[in-house]
Amino acid sequence: MKKLLSLIVVLIVILAIGQAYRLFPPLDLGKYFNSQKSTTTPAPKYINAAPEKSLAEDETVITRVIANALPSVVTVGIVTTTQTPGSIQIDPFNPFGGITQIPGQKQQINQNIGSGFIVTADGFIITNKHVVADEQAGYKVLTNDKKEYKVVNIYRDPLNDLAIIKIEATGLKPLPLGDSSKLKLGQTTIAIGTPLGEFTNTVTTGIVSGLGRGITAGSPFEGFVEKLDNVIQTSAPISPGNSGGPLLNSSGQVIGINTAIAQQGQNIGFAIPVNVIKELLDNFQKNGNSFERPYLGVRYKIIDKQTAILNDVVEGAYVVEVVDGSPAQKAGLQNEDIITEFDGHKITGSDDQGLAKLILQKHVGDTVKVKYWRNGTIKETNITLEAYK
């Protein structure tokens, strides 16, 4: 028995030495001594990240859109002269008054104030009306190739914060216009412009984050504000000076014109839908590429049905003032008349801009039939529309 035990001990020692010095194949002793199954948790299978190629493709789309659009984006500048306020200087040692009035000094302003984009090869450019609001000032356009042009004419849309400006140039590259009625929340947006009137060709990206918004647009340079409805909200950062620049989709099409920012928020910008721009351009072309627009010559306030009933009058456009020498004055319209029909279309209290829209559908020289209420009687007259000057 002792010999057997000694033999087992020797064998164990030999096996131990053999395993330590790798003289024998490795032995899995666990399968002889462990009777229970292993409970080790299998290693987790991680989901591989998206291929680097997809990110590169997204970047390629954006950079391609920017490269194609930059030659069509312009910077709009203002050229004008202002005068500083005068001052009064008092000499306390002069017994005869010693008061001298010092006149203000004239200052030449030559500053970039906004952006725009080319819509025709022969020099028609879209921008915001508030960018070119000063009718006494001159304006210039700086293109992407560093060429400077004088703005020779400006058409300011009376209904929207839009303007068409004209420069004397040929061979320009217009931007393609998209369809804002097909916009969806979450679509990629790319804004290009000149923020703060200084950093030309600045590009920001975001998404369509809201549709059908109502805002108040304005310009810190011009001191002009206007209420706008049905605009696009985007997360692409827009700064003062971006006004008038294009808002693009991933196909490089214009989907809006950058108009305003939310002063109390970050990455909240707004743009007028491109379909409004297309309608403006269509009307402009129908007028023979003319900046002339027809006007009636009245200031009015819309009276809705409820107000009309309460005041025993009729629903329509209440004439607050008739402009001297205007078509309305020549046709006999007076203050306190209420226009009820224009060219067969009834004027209702549901649309403050209803009459203005009807006028803009006409051409300079058109004669329209106008019905109006005066002292309880409906009267009728024909008015020949003239060009607004």
**156 inside domain:** yes
The mean pLDDT value for 269-286 works out to: 85
**Domain count across the chain:** 3
Residue numbers of the domain that contains 206: 180-286
Asked whether 116 and 74 are in contact (CB, 8 A), the reply is yes
pLDDT of residue 222: 41
Which of the two residues, 289 and 151, has the higher pLDDT score?
151
Asked if residue 279 and residue 209 are part of one domain, the reply reads yes
Residue 55 placed within a domain: no
CATH of the domain at 227: 2.40.10.10
Same domain, residue pair 190 and 279 = yes
Residue 271 lies in a domain: yes
Per-residue pLDDT, 267: 60
- The catalytic residue among 72, 180, 243, 326 is 243
Once rounded to an integer, what is the mean pLDDT over residues 255-268? 69
**282-310: average pLDDT:** 83
Residue partners of 239: CB distance under 8 A and separation at least 6 = 193, 195, 196, 202, 261
245/321 same-domain check: no
CB 343 within 8 A of CB 294: no
The first and second tokens of residue 136, run together, are 């006494």
- Within this chain, do residues 316 and 221 fall inside the same structural domain, yes or no? no
| pLDDT confidence of residue 38 | 47
Q: Assess if residue 81 is contained within a domain.
A: yes
Same domain, yes or no: 220 and 194: yes
Distance CA 387, CA 323 (A): 13
Question: Given 111, 141, 167, which residue is the final one in a domain?
Answer: 167
- Is residue 161 located within the same domain as residue 228? no
243 is catalytic: yes
Residues 6+ apart with CB under 8 A from 146: none
- Which is the catalytic residue, given 161, 180, 209, 239? 161
Where does a domain end: 286, 311, 334?
286
* Domain contains 315: yes
**Residues in a beta bridge with 207:** 188
d(CA 50, CA 61): 17
CB 322 within 8 A of CB 334: yes
* Same structural domain, 154 and 214: no
Return the HEC string of 117-155. EECCCCCEEEECHHHHCCCCCEEEEECCCCCEEEEEEEE
Q: Give one DSSP letter per residue of 34-78, joined into a string.
A: --SPP-PPPPP-PPPPPPHHHHHHHHHHHHHHHHHHGGGEEEEEE
Burial class (CB in 10 A: 0-12, 13-18, 19+), 237: middle
The two three-digit tokens of residue 293, written as one number: 């627009």
Q: What is the pLDDT of residue 55?
A: 53
The residue behind tokens 């309305």 is: 328
What is the number of H-type helices and E-type strands within the chain? 7, 22
Q: Is 130 a catalytic residue?
A: yes
Q: Are 184 and 278 in the same domain?
A: yes
Better-predicted residue by pLDDT, 228 or 265: 228
CATH classification of the domain holding 360: 2.30.42.10
On whether residue 43 sits in a domain, the answer given is no
Give the mean pLDDT of the chain: 79
CA distances from 161 to 224, 227, 276, 374, 388 (A): 10, 9, 10, 34, 18
How confident is the model at residue 240, as a pLDDT? 72
How confident is the model at residue 92, as a pLDDT? 67
Q: What digits encode the pLDDT tens for the residues 302-317?
A: 998 888 898 899 999 9
Q: Label the pairing between strands 138-142 and 73-83.
A: antiparallel
* Catalytic entry in 130, 180, 209, 219: 130
- The DSSP string of 346-384 is EP-TT-TTHHHHHHHTS-TT-EEEEEEEETTEEEEEEEE
pLDDT digits (tens, 9 = 90+) for 120-147: 999 999 998 888 888 888 999 999 888 9
| Confidence (pTM) | 0.61
Structure-token pair, residue 7: 């033999």
179 is catalytic: no
276 lies in a domain?
A: yes
167, 198, 230 - which closes a domain: 167
pLDDT digits (tens, 9 = 90+) for 73-87: 999 988 887 767 767
